[in-house]
Amino acid sequence: MNMPLVRIELFEGRTDSEKEEMIREVTTAMAASLKIDKDDVDIIIQEIKKKDWATGGVTWDKQ
């Protein structure tokens, strides 16, 4: 069975402790909902600069 891989993209600026808390909570939710072991859940976080993300044709550093 393939195990889940969760990719999370978000703006830069969160603290390590905020990201660690999110990782714990997402892992717990995935494991519970899929009835799998927490050790089988992989998470990749990609932090993106606001100048590299746009909505409605405007980058977030200009919104």
The pLDDT, as a whole number, for residue 3 is 86
What is the number of structural domains in the chain?
1
Handedness of CA 13, 15, 16, 20 (dihedral sign): negative
Any idea of the CA torsion for 19, 23, 29, 33, to the nearest 10 degrees?
Answer: 140
Nearest CA to 47 among 18, 24, 26, 25? 18
62 within domain boundaries: no
Domain membership of residue 15 as a residue range: 5-51
| Residues designated as active site | 4
25 within domain boundaries: yes
CATH number at residue 19: 3.30.429.10
CA distance 59 to 50: 7
58 within domain boundaries: no
The pLDDT, as a whole number, for residue 1 is 62
Half-sphere exposure of 25 (CA within 13 A, CB side): 7
42 within domain boundaries: yes
For the chain, 63 residues long, give each residue's pLDDT as a single digit of tens.
668 999 999 999 999 999 999 999 999 999 999 999 999 999 999 999 999 999 999 999 999
